[in-house]
Amino acid sequence: MRSGDTAGLCGFLVIDKPAGLTSHGCVAAARRAYGLRRVGHGGTLDPAVTGVLPLALGPATRLLPYLHGNKAYRGVVQLGLRSSSDDLEGEVLERCALPAIDSKAIEAALEQFRGLIQQIPPQVSAVHVEGERAYARARRGEVVELAARPVTIERLELLGWEPGSGRLELAVRCSAGTYIRSLARDLGDSLGCGGALASLRRSEALGFDLSTAVSLERLGEVPPPPLLDPLAALGHLARHQLSAAELLDWRCGRRIQGASTGDAPDDGAAPEATAAISVVTPEGQLAGIARRSPCGALQPRLVFDAAG
Provide the CA 210 distance to its chain's centre, in angstroms.
13
Question: How many separate helices (H) and strands (E) can be counted in the chain?
Answer: 5, 18
Question: Using CA atoms, how far apart are residues 88 and 165, in angstroms rounded to an integer?
Answer: 14
- The answer to whether 46 is a known catalytic residue is yes
Query: Taking CA 31 as the corner, what is the angle to CA 27 and CA 34, rounded to the nearest 5 degrees?
Result: 130
CA distances from 74 to 98, 191, 251, 304 (A): 23, 20, 43, 37
Indicate the helix (H) or strand (E) that contains 93: strand 92-95
State the angle between helix axes of 103-111 and 180-190 in degrees (0 to 180), rounded to the nearest 10. Answer: 120
CB atoms within 10 A of CB 259: 19
Cα Rg of the chain (Å, integer): 22
* Catalytic one of 46, 86, 87, 186: 46
Give catalytic residues, as residue numbers.
Answer: 46
